[in-house]
Amino acid sequence: MKLEHIGIAVKSLQESIPVFEKIFKVKATQIEYVEEQKVNVAKLHLENIDIELLEGTDVDSPITKFIEKRGEGIHHCSFESENITEKLKELKNNDIKLINEEPKIGSDNMLIAFLHPKSTAGVLIELSQKRTKE
- Interface with Zn ion (CB under 5 A): 7, 52, 78, 126
Determine contact, residues 88/96, Cβ cutoff 8 Å.
no
Work out the number of other CB atoms within 10 angstroms of the CB of residue 11: 14
Residue 80 Cβ vs Zn ion, minimum distance, rounded to whole Å:
11
Residue 107 Cβ vs Zn ion, minimum distance, rounded to whole Å:
7
Instruction: State which residue, 52 or 91, has the beta carbon closest to Zn ion.
Output: 52
Give dist(CA 87, CA 100) in Å, integer.
Answer: 12
CA dihedral for 74, 78, 79, 84, sign (positive or negative): positive
Give dist(CA 82, CA 93) in Å, integer.
Answer: 18
Residue 5 Cβ vs Zn ion, minimum distance, rounded to whole Å:
6
Instruction: State which residue, 51 or 91, has the beta carbon closest to Zn ion.
Output: 51
Strand partners, 79: 3, 127
Instruction: State which residue, 3 or 95, has the beta carbon closest to Zn ion.
Output: 3
Work out the number of other CB atoms within 10 angstroms of the CB of residue 26: 14
Instruction: State which residue, 55 or 126, has the beta carbon closest to Zn ion.
Output: 126
Instruction: State which residue, 30 or 93, has the beta carbon closest to Zn ion.
Output: 30
Residue 110 Cβ vs Zn ion, minimum distance, rounded to whole Å:
8
Nearest of 4, 8, 3 to residue 70 by alpha carbon: 8
Residue 43 Cβ vs Zn ion, minimum distance, rounded to whole Å:
9
